[in-house]
Amino acid sequence: MSDNQQIPKQRVLIQLDSDPHPSVFDRVVAIDAGVDHVFSYGGLLPAMVRDLVYGAIFTRGVNDLKRTAVFIGGSNVADGEKLLAAARKSFIGPLRVSLLLDSNGANTTAAAAVVVAGRHMALKGARALVLGSSGPVGRRVARLLALAGSIVSVGSRSLDRASEVAEATRAKVNGAQVVPVATGEEEQLAQALLGVELVISSGGPGACLLPRNQRTLAKTIRVVVDLNAVPPEGIEGVKGPDSGVERDGQVAYGAIGVGGLKMKIHKAAIAALFESNDLVLDVEQVLEIGQKLKS
Ligand SMILES: NC(=O)c1ccc[n+]([C@@H]2O[C@H](COP(=O)([O-])OP(=O)(O)OC[C@H]3O[C@@H](n4cnc5c(N)ncnc54)[C@H](OP(=O)(O)O)[C@@H]3O)[C@@H](O)[C@H]2O)c1
């Protein structure tokens, strides 16, 4: 082939993972989202990112850089955030590529939970309780609900941890209405549920954070979303595959029910990376992508 013949540039996704082995899950999703090649790097520390990003931005002309993008993953969200910051710092003017952060699946999962809740109620002004809010998923759920204008109670077994989440949420969202609550004891949980219309439970695998008797006693609850897929249920009586079904007079979503949308959002976010070379997709941008999806 002669030099002046145009070879269409293939889509290359560079996977930067903080875990020793780059996530197979994230690689498969990338391929299913239409990426031609995934270059995977694991065990990454922030100091290692710059040279990998240079490899991305110095190879193709500016107009072709939208055919190269970076996905940041791994099981630790705080580590992922540091890799994201290092990648952003490595760009040189227009020499940049689009970035997506989805460590621990936290951004796509939180976005999916908030999108499904928003199908059934106006989030602005709604009173919401996030259970298990001190984990990476719960933190992002709290952030998105605060951004949507909900009045958010962030729950934890420890009031100190809840207070730290509230503080972190306020630091991310101007004017966030967020209240820390202890939810580990029955009495505390009953108190936290007063007036709540939406519960999103993001507790650790196999932990029941909301027993059925307390859920049914809380008559103001309209929508419940349980993100825990490992038995027993995180919200007792909400089944994994539930997807907008009625449970005890409340609209219910289980982890598998939310998981379908989470996968669609993940693929749509990957596809969006290749529309331009200047996107930085963190949880707020991932939510916007989710809100545009039909179902
Ligand atoms: N559906 C999906 O696609 C998807 C994707 C990713 C994650 N997930 C699920 O989403 C949930 C949240 O993920 P994550 O990584 O943020 O969870 P995590 O960090 O493991 O746990 C979140 C919080 O749950 C609380 N918790 C843990 N064990 C508990 C127990 N035995 N009893 C009561 N509370 C407990 C802890 O808060 P305190 O100690 O402060 O109380 C912890 O910080 C998990 O169940 C995960 O499996 C689902």
Domain boundary among 51, 84, 101: 101
| Ligand 1 close to Cβ of residue 240 (< 6 A) | no
pTM: 0.96
Q: Which domain holds residue 36?
A: 12-101
| Ligand 1 close to Cβ of residue 206 (< 6 A) | no
Of 47, 29, 122, give the one whose Cα is nearest residue 89. 47
> Token pair of 108, please?
């796509």
| Residue 265 within a domain | no
| 75 and 124 together in one domain | no
Give the tens place of pLDDT for each residue, 166-221.
999 999 999 999 999 999 999 999 999 999 999 999 999 999 999 999 999 999 99
Chain-centre distance for alpha carbon 3: 44
pLDDT above 50: residue 2: no
If one residue of 26, 79, 134 were mutated to test the ligand 1 pocket, choosing by the most ligand atoms within 8 A of its CB, it would be: 134
Distance 195 CA to ligand 1 centre (A): 24
| 126 and 231 together in one domain | yes
- Residue 294: its pLDDT value, please? 72
| Ligand 1 close to Cβ of residue 18 (< 6 A) | no
Give the tens place of pLDDT for each residue, 153-172.
999 999 999 999 999 999 99
Asked if residue 131 lies in contact with residue 209, where contact means CB atoms within 8 angstroms, the answer is: yes
CATH number at residue 51: 3.40.50.10280
Asked if residue 109 lies in contact with residue 200, where contact means CB atoms within 8 angstroms, the answer is: no
CATH number at residue 183: 3.40.50.720
Question: How many domains does the chain contain in total?
Answer: 2
- Residue 1: its pLDDT value, please? 45
Q: What residues contact 171, with CB distance under 8 A and at least 6 apart?
A: none
| Ligand 1 close to Cβ of residue 157 (< 6 A) | yes
Distance 165 CA to ligand 1 centre (A): 14
